[in-house]
């Protein structure tokens, strides 16, 4: 059972390592999970993961891999390997290589539109690389439909179909809006992970998001993890915003 604060993932959607470190230093340990997406990873690469790890937090690596199965297989393996390669146990920890350790990459994304073969390759790569390196396997979750997309008559069924495909292919869960979370939970069961972005505080601007909800609504709908970016990063007091979100749960 996750603690309430462990359900919150703060999106480090910034363009420099300095900015990312500012938010990690400010918000940890109130926040223990941080999302590294395309913007920060393109700018800083694995150094961003190392920075979060050195603080003691963990990473949701959100790169939405979508390519031919072989390329995604290798990319997921590299992402899992990144977890162990940047770890440098201190003399105090006495971590032995034969022990299974928990790397900083907690979860990674692929896009469900890549198809069954690609998704199966991603699931297999995570398991094989984790076994090889004797690390805890990162969760692999499939992006269904972006929360910036407009609601359409077929959105719910499209997301359900994508979730069932992801589950059948061996993924650990999906990324979807809270609008679909309840239906996905019903179709895929309690152990299937649901990650929900597009979380906004009451009365906050939607920005470029469309299918948004509050944190409380998302948890009630069945979401396991909530990804929050701008409502925290752009707040006058980001730590206060974090505590407000956690408190609402």
Point out the residues that are catalytic. 64
Residues ≥6 apart with Cβ < 8 Å to 137: 80, 126, 127, 130
Can you list the positions of beta strands (E) in the chain?
Answer: 8-11, 33-37, 58-65, 105-111, 139-143, 173-175, 193-196, 225-228
Helix axes 116-133, 69-85, angle to 10 degrees: 30
* E strand segments, 72-183: 105-111, 139-143, 173-175
Tell me: cis bond preceding 218? Omega within 30 of 0 counts.
Answer: no
């Amino acid at each position: 059972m996750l603690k309430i604060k462990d359900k919150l993932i703060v999106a480090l959607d910034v363009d420099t390592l300095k900015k990312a470190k500012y938010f990690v230093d400010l918000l940890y340990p109130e926040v223990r999970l941080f999302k590294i997406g395309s913007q920060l990873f393109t700018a800083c690469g694995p150094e961003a993961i190392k920075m979060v790890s050195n603080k003691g937090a963990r990473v949701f690596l959100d790169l939405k891999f979508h390519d031919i199965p072989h390329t995604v297989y290798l990319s997921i393996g590299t992402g899992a390997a990144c977890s162990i390669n940047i770890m440098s146990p201190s003399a105090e920890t006495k971590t032995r290589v034969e022990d299974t350790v928990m790397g900083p990459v907690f979860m990674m994304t692929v896009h469900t539109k890549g198809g069954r073969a690609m998704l199966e390759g991603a699931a297999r790569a995570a398991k094989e690389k984790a076994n090889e390196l004797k690390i805890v396997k990162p969760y692999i979750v499939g992006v269904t439909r972006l929360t910036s997309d407009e609601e359409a008559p077929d959105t719910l069924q499209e997301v359900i179909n994508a979730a069932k495909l992801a589950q059948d292919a061996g993924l650990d869960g999906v990324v979807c809006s809270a609008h679909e979370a309840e239906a996905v939970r019903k179709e895929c069961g309690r152990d299937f992970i649901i990650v929900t972005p597009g979380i906004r505080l009451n009365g906050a601007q939607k920005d470029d998001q469309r299918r948004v909800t509050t944190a409380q609504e998302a948890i009630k709908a069945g979401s396991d993890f909530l990804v929050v970016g701008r409502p925290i990063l752009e707040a006058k007091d980001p730590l206060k915003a974090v505590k407000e979100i956690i408190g609402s749960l």
